């Protein structure tokens, strides 16, 4: 674990006792601070108390007397749609509010780093879509290249739960807007911005607040290198803000929408080919078309961002290419489950909104599409341009009939259950087709989470194709 520095002998309040909250309390204790823990859930409090932590109701009067800081778990709103009452009490008491990400960055570097010839480095990845795949891909490339690497944050282990990195080690962090929004220290060596699309708008008070939360990763400390997706206006703005001019190679621009040019540093993908240009000359290229773990333009964007980050860490293009080829993808994100009788079965249960489902649909041809679930605000209009490759839709969920009615121009069968949808899709699929789970909806009408839904699809597919 990473012992928290700067609070020795002082009291620090911890609000929220899930994975990150408990890890924070343990790291505070390792750093010789006293953690005062609270969660509205009694089972979470009992678990913390069983580990010997002090339970203190942070909502009571006087709870913040002699408290040095309040550390808030990322799932707890601190400003929008309304400030949490405990956070508001900390404000009133003048107690600094932070999160585990802020503690990580202020505590990571130790005195032993002065003895390292190659100090550890941190790569932090944020954005709306693709940040999990991009983070995992960077870590995979580094591991394949023989570099000591740890994956943490919104994926893998909690940031304070990792081992202190040794000489030359790399920590790859996936950071959500919930994590970047509140952190008082954000000082990665390399920061990556994948893209931006509307999400979590209630939590951030609108699109401007959402982008501002992402932008903090680049503005609070300033990374040595920034990898910026410039296919949206916000990315173009961010790249411009960080760059001192056209030739400033501290900013690497990334695109899957167009060829990038100019004297700076660019990585882009067109028609399945990744190209790296630096100072007006091509410095590397990769054919992504046969990378089974990276199908479609959205994954090609992830590949470009990961490639750029790995190049800043000194890896050669051929080393990165070899590692890309062995990347199997992440579970529930364009994950090939099996190929049988000429049919490919793909689990993209993480496609819980229209934007991510559209990207999944554009990644394949001749699709038998399993979709449906708890529909999100805004309807399905944004899917229309991505339905051209759909042979037939098999709709699941409690409101499957209503969902199916919105799929104009697509043959749709109301199946309601995953079992029925998989059975019908397997029976009707022809060689050369793809059976794709990309629900374009949340899972909570039938499942606890998208992972459970994806696991159900995977289990039923494997059973059906081997029967």
pLDDT in tens, 5-22: 999 999 999 999 998 999
- pLDDT average, residue stretch 32-47: 97
Is 127 known to sit in a ligand binding site?
yes
In angstroms, how far apart are the furthest CA atoms of the chain? 69
Examine the pLDDT at 193 and tell me if it is beyond 80.
yes
Domain 335-465 annotated CATH 3.40.50.10490: no
pLDDT interval class at 382 (50, 70, 90): confident
Examine the pLDDT at 355 and tell me if it is beyond 90.
no
What are the structural domain ranges in the chain?
11-98, 104-325, 335-465
pLDDT of residue 222: 87
Q: What is the pLDDT of residues 237-291, one digit of tens each?
A: 999 999 998 789 999 999 999 999 989 999 999 999 999 999 999 999 999 998 9
From CA 322, how far away is CA 316, in angstroms rounded?
10
Prediction pTM value: 0.89
Is 156 known to sit in a ligand binding site?
no
Q: What is the pLDDT of residues 119-162, one digit of tens each?
A: 999 999 999 989 999 999 999 999 999 999 999 998 878 999 99
- pLDDT average, residue stretch 101-116: 90
- pLDDT average, residue stretch 168-191: 96
Question: Measured between alpha carbons, how far is residue 449 from residues 374, 442, 454 in Å?
Answer: 11, 8, 9
Is 409 known to sit in a ligand binding site?
no
pLDDT of residue 198: 80
Please count the other Cβ atoms lying within 10 Å of the Cβ belonging to residue 433. Answer: 20
Examine the pLDDT at 164 and tell me if it is beyond 80.
yes
Examine the pLDDT at 353 and tell me if it is beyond 90.
no
DSSP H helices, 290-329, are 296-312, 317-325
pLDDT of residue 97: 98
pLDDT of residue 71: 98
pLDDT of residue 104: 97
pLDDT of residue 466: 87
Examine the pLDDT at 59 and tell me if it is beyond 80.
yes
pLDDT of residue 115: 84
What does CATH list as the number for 11-98? 3.40.50.720
Length of the chain (residues)? 467
pLDDT of residue 112: 82
Examine the pLDDT at 377 and tell me if it is beyond 80.
no
pLDDT interval class at 329 (50, 70, 90): confident
Examine the pLDDT at 108 and tell me if it is beyond 90.
yes
Question: What residue has token string 């919104």?
Answer: 154
pLDDT of residue 213: 96
pLDDT of residue 197: 87
**Please, which contacts does 55-64 make with residues 24 or more away whose CB atoms are closer than 8 Å?**
56/13, 58/13, 58/15, 58/86, 58/89, 59/85, 59/86, 59/89, 63/13, 63/89, 64/13, 64/89, 64/90, 64/93, 64/95
pLDDT interval class at 432 (50, 70, 90): very high
Identify the H or E element spanning 126: strand 121-126
Examine the pLDDT at 467 and tell me if it is beyond 80.
no
DSSP string for residues in 352-409: -SHHHHHHHHTT-SSEEEEE-SBPPTTTTGGGGGG-TTEEEEEEESTTHHHHHHT-TT
Q: What percent of the chain has pLDDT over 70?
A: 100
Examine the pLDDT at 79 and tell me if it is beyond 80.
yes
pLDDT interval class at 221 (50, 70, 90): confident
Domain 104-325: CATH superfamily, name plus number: Mur-like, catalytic domain (3.40.1190.10)
Listed in order, strand segments (DSSP E) in 7-94 are 11-15, 34-38, 54-55, 67-72
Can you say how many angstroms the Cα of residue 329 is from the centroid of all Cα atoms in its chain?
13
pLDDT of residue 230: 98
pLDDT of residue 51: 97
Is 132 known to sit in a ligand binding site?
yes
pLDDT of residue 379: 79
Is 131 known to sit in a ligand binding site?
yes
Q: What mean pLDDT, rounded, does the chain reach?
A: 95
């Amino acid at each position: 674990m990473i012992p928290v520095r700067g609070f020795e002998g002082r009291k620090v309040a911890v609000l929220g006792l899930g994975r990150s909250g408990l890890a924070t309390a343990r790291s505070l204790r390792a750093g010789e601070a006293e953690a005062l823990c609270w969660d509205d859930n009694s089972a979470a409090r009992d678990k913390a108390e069983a580990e010997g932590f002090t339970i203190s109701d942070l909502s009571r009067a006087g709870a913040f007397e002699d408290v040095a800081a309040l550390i808030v778990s990322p799932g707890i709103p601190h400003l929008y749609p309304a400030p949490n009452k405990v956070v508001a009490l900390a404000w009133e008491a003048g107690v600094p509010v932070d999160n585990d990400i802020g503690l990580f960055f202020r505590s990571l570097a130790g005195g032993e780093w002065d003895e390292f010839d190659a100090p550890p480095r941190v790569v932090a990845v944020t954005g709306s879509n693709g940040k999990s795949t991009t983070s995992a891909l960077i870590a995979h490339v580094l591991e394949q290249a023989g570099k000591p690497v740890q994956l943490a944050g919104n994926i893998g282990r909690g940031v304070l739960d990792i081992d202190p990195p040794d000489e030359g080690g790399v920590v790859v962090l996936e950071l959500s807007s919930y994590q970047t929004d509140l952190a008082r220290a954000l000082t990665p060596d390399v920061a990556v911005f994948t893209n931006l699309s509307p999400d979590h708008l209630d939590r951030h008070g609108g699109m401007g607040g959402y982008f501002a939360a992402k932008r903090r990763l680049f503005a609070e400390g300033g990374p040595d290198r920034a990898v910026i997706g410039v296919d949206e206006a916000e990315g173009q703005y961010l790249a411009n803000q960080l760059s001192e001019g056209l030739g400033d190679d501290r900013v690497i621009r990334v695109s899957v929408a167009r060829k990038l040019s100019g004297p700076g540093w660019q990585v882009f993908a067109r028609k399945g080919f990744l190209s790296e240009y630096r100072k007006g000359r091509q410095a590397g290229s990769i054919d992504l078309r046969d990378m089974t773990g990276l199908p479609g333009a959205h994954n090609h964007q992830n590949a470009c961002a990961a490639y750029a980050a790995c190049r800043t860490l000194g890896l050669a293009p051929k080393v990165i290419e070899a590692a890309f080829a062995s990347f199997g993808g992440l579970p529930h994100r364009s994950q090939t489950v099996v190929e049988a009788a000429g049919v490919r079965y793909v689990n993209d249960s993480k496609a819980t909104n229209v934007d991510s489902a559209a990207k999944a649909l554009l990644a394949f041809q001749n699709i038998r599409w399993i979709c449906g679930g708890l529909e999100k605000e805004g309807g399905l209009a944004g899917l229309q341009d991505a339905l051209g490759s759909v042979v037939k839709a098999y709709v699941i969920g409690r409101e499957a009939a209503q969902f199916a009615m919105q799929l104009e121009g697509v043959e749709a069968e109301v199946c309601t259950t995953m079992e029925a949808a998989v059975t019908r899709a397997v029976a009707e699929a022809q060689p050369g087709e793809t059976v794709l789970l990309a629900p374009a909806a949340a899972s909570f009408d039938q499942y606890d989470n998208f992972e459970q839904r994806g696991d159900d699809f995977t289990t039923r597919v494997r059973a059906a194709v081997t029967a």
